[in-house]
Structures are given as C-alpha cells and as structure tokens.
Structure 1
Amino acid sequence: MELNEYLAYSFPGLHLKPSLFNQWHIGIHFELGENLYQFKYGNKLNLDLFELVYSQATAIFKELFSEQDEIMLVTNAYLHIWNKKIVKAPKVYKQFLKNKELKHNIRQKTLPVMIDDEGNPSEYYISQFHVKCKKGDLNYPLLIKATCNKDFHLKPKLGKHKGAYGPDVFFVNISKNIIYYIYDDRGCEVIATNKETIVPLTIIRSGLPNITEMRLKGCLT
C-alpha cells in the first residue's frame, strides 16, 4: 500500500501537512521547552533549551514506535512554482537513513500549489517523498535533532532546496495508525485512528522531561 492509499483508507480527508492536530479528531499537541527561550545573553543560543527539546521529542518517538512497526518516513519539500526541473529527494534520506539500500525505494509525488492563510495561491508547491522502513533503518536521534533545529544555525540540519525553505518531516506508523510531526523546537503533534494507541502518552507525561503543555482531542473517556 502506497502513501496515498494508506492515508485515504486510514486517515480519510487528512492532508499530510502542518496542523495535523486541527485536522483530525484524535490527537495530542505538545508544547516543548519548559517555557525556556531560544536565546540568552543577547543573541547567544540557549543550548540547554535545545538539549531539553531533543530529549522530549525523542522520548515521545520511542513511546510511539517499536522496533517491529512498519514506518513511512515522509517529507514535504517546498519549491518555487518556477522550479520545474526534476527534483531530487531531500537530503533527509541521504543523511538519516542508516539502511542505504532503501534510497532505491523512495517514492515521489507533486502536490498542488499551496494556499496561503487568506485563501490565495502561494509561490510554492509541495514535492512529497516517502519511503517505507523500520525504526532500526533510521538514525532517528539525529533526524529528530535536525527537525528541532529547523529555524536555527545548529547541526544536524535537514537541508533545503535553493530558494525555498526547509522540508517538513512526518513519521507515519502504519502498524499502529499514528502520525508524529515535530514542527520545530516549539512543539509537536501526534494523531491516531484509535485513542488507545496514544492515551499512554497522557499517562506517562510525568516521565517525559518537562513537557510545557499538552492539549488533547478525543483522548479522554
């Protein structure tokens, strides 16, 4: 089953893009960082914040994904509408896939031109890539760090196409029907088809390091 078929069957009507929590009826939104700021002492980055966010985002990933789960690693690359050349897969796959053989299995599709907040066509369209893998195929600790570093000059980085901005990365657990999306250092979203698969995150919250805030949708009995 390819990504389109899977989403249509398991998450009908969902668009794999930011704000998953607002699109779906079962989910959790986490704010990360314990009210710390990205900068301290002027323009110096607060590395303590980033280390905390890395640990929070990784703890959530480990709770959601087991070694046996089938995963789709999905990236949305944002490209200018004048860029009609053949687009290569984002560096995400080259950098963070430990199983290099999987690069031959990467699939791509072009999505329509994006719409801005006022309903007008933007200057970008989405080139979406995905590959099926297992947890052990991913260098997920570094990939999670890269997603959290999206807006800052910190390594590792996701990389981006010239003239556009960095890709979004979605971890899709097709065994448990869970989608995990870290939008940047500020927070992340988890949605699922069955509340029972993500309710444990609400129970273990005290074990997650200093989550700032957690909003629930459809997870309460």
Structure 2
Amino acid sequence: MDVAEYLKKRFPSIELVPSIYNQWDIGIHFSLGTEIYQFKENGGLNLERFRVVYKQAFTIFNELFEREDNLLLVTNIYKHKNQKQQTKKLKVYQPFLKCKNALKRIQVRTYPYPFESDEAKDYERQQFSLLCKREDIRMNELLKAACNEDFPLKPKLGEDFIHYPDVFFVNTTKDIIFFVYDDRGCEVIAREADRIRSLYENYYDWVEEVDRKKIEEGLGRPGMK
C-alpha cells in the first residue's frame, strides 16, 4: 500500500510529520507521565516516570489497534542528502520486526526536508513504510523506543541522524493515525469521530485542560465532561 495514495484518499490534508493533531479537526492530544519529573533529585533518571509513560502509550495503542487490523508502519528519517540511502532502514526496522523477510517489503520515498532551516536545501526526509499486522512487530519495544527519544535509554531507533526518527502507526482498517512524539505525549487522529470518542472519555485525565475544547469540538460533543 502506498502511503501517499492512502493519505490522499482518507486524510487529504495530512502530511506525516510531527503535529498531525494540528493538521486535522478530529483528534486527541494526550500528555504522558504528567506530574512525574524525568529526573530524580540526585540527577539520575526517574525510571518510574518512564514505566508510567510506556504503560500509557501501550494502553492507547491497544485501544486503537486490534489483532486483525491492517497496520501501515511509517517511519521518517531526516538526513543529509549525501548520506547513504538504503542502509538506514535496518537500524530503524530490523530490531523490531519478528520476521526479517519483511524488510524486503519495505517501501521508501524521498521528500523535501519539512522543517524551517537555513540549510534545509541540504537535507531531506526519507520515508519508509511497511504494511503488516501488529503481531508482526515487537510493538512494546518499538513504542518504548519512540518514548526514549531524548534520553540514554534502550531501545532506540538509531542515533546517527540529524533528528530522531518519527514513527507513525496508521490503522488503515479503521482510518486512525497514532504518533508518539517522545516521552511527553502522543497524538491520535481519525477520519470519523466515533472511532476515538470512547478513547477520549476513557482517558480524559491524560488530556491537558488547554486541549479539551478543541478536542471536544472535533469529536462533535462540546462539553462532554
């Protein structure tokens, strides 16, 4: 399945880059690990925070993706144009695939660098995609890697890019996109509000008050709580 064609048909205004929540009317922004600081008083990492963050990310994913749903796993890496093209997919995908033969099915496209920079013309976004099922992926490890972006924790998605890779989980069966941007939070958007309304109601406490009005308007039920 081609990512660009799918988005054109189902999410025509969406570009798979960070802040998908701000690109679409029907969506939820969840804050993770709130009120638990990343560091202890002695300067060490507060691993209890990360346990909470992982659990929240797993919980949301499990609500959105069922076993038989088709999952389009999309990963952006941001690189200098002179960097080698194909070898990087191994570091992004290989540790998390249960079947290594799936590497042969990964599709790749190259796009302009999406962020503002004086040197933007020297960089590019390389996008890898794989159509699979959730059972094909070591999902807990992959979600942990997404959460670990800013910290010396394992697993990682690779550390030799100009930016940490972004991973998007696209449920093409239900038309839902899930994105964990780092340990601070994640975004969910859906083509139809009914797909994620119960998610918002069930995990209302994980949503910052400043986001609630926009979310409730998008879900079609202002003042839900």
TM-score (norm 2): 0.89
Determine which of 206, 209, 224 is the counterpart of 1:211: 206
Q: By how many angstroms is 1:220 displaced?
A: 3.2
Task: Say if 1:33 and 1:212, in contact at 8 Å, map to a contact too.
Answer: no
The C-alpha deviation readout for 1:46-87, integer Å capped at 9, x for no partner, is: 10100000000000000000001000111000102343x333
What percent of counterpart residues are identical?
45
Task: Say if 1:158 and 1:167, in contact at 8 Å, map to a contact too.
Answer: yes
Match of 2:7 in 1: 7
Residue 187 of structure 2 corresponds to residue 189 of structure 1? yes
Q: Which has the higher strand share?
A: 1
Match of 1:31 in 2: 31
Match of 1:111 in 2: 111
Output the amino acid matched with 1:197.
Answer: R
Match of 1:172 in 2: 170
Task: Say if 2:146 and 2:167, in contact at 8 Å, map to a contact too.
Answer: yes
Unpaired segments of 5 or more residues in structure 1?
A: none
Q: By how many angstroms is 1:213 displaced?
A: 2.6
SS at match of 1:69: coil
Q: Which has the higher helix share?
A: 2
RMSD: 1.9
The C-alpha deviation readout for 1:169-216, integer Å capped at 9, x for no partner, is: 00000000000000000000000100000111012116xxx6263731
Q: Give the Cα–Cα distance (whole angstroms) in 2 for the partners of residues 33 and 15 of structure 1.
A: 27
**Where do residues 1-221 of structure 1 align in structure 2 (5 Å cutoff)?**
1-83=1-83, 85-88=84-87, 89-116=89-116, 121=120, 123-160=122-159, 162-205=160-203, 211=206, 213=208, 215=211, 216=215, 218-221=218-221
Task: Say if 2:33 and 2:49, in contact at 8 Å, map to a contact too.
Answer: yes
* Pairs aligned (count): 215
Task: Say if 1:99 and 1:137, in contact at 8 Å, map to a contact too.
Answer: yes
The C-alpha deviation readout for 1:97-151, integer Å capped at 9, x for no partner, is: 112221110000001133317x983653110000000011111111111110011
Output the amino acid matched with 1:42.
Answer: N
Q: Give the Cα–Cα distance (whole angstroms) in 1 for the partners of residues 19 and 62 of structure 2.
A: 22
Unpaired segments of 5 or more residues in structure 2?
A: none
Q: By how many angstroms is 1:35 displaced?
A: 1.8
Task: Say if 1:75 and 1:168, in contact at 8 Å, map to a contact too.
Answer: yes
Q: Give the Cα–Cα distance (whole angstroms) in 2 for the partners of residues 220 and 120 of structure 1.
A: 42
Q: Give the Cα–Cα distance (whole angstroms) in 1 for the partners of residues 192 and 119 of structure 2.
A: 35
Q: Give the Cα–Cα distance (whole angstroms) in 2 for the partners of residues 173 and 46 of structure 1.
A: 32
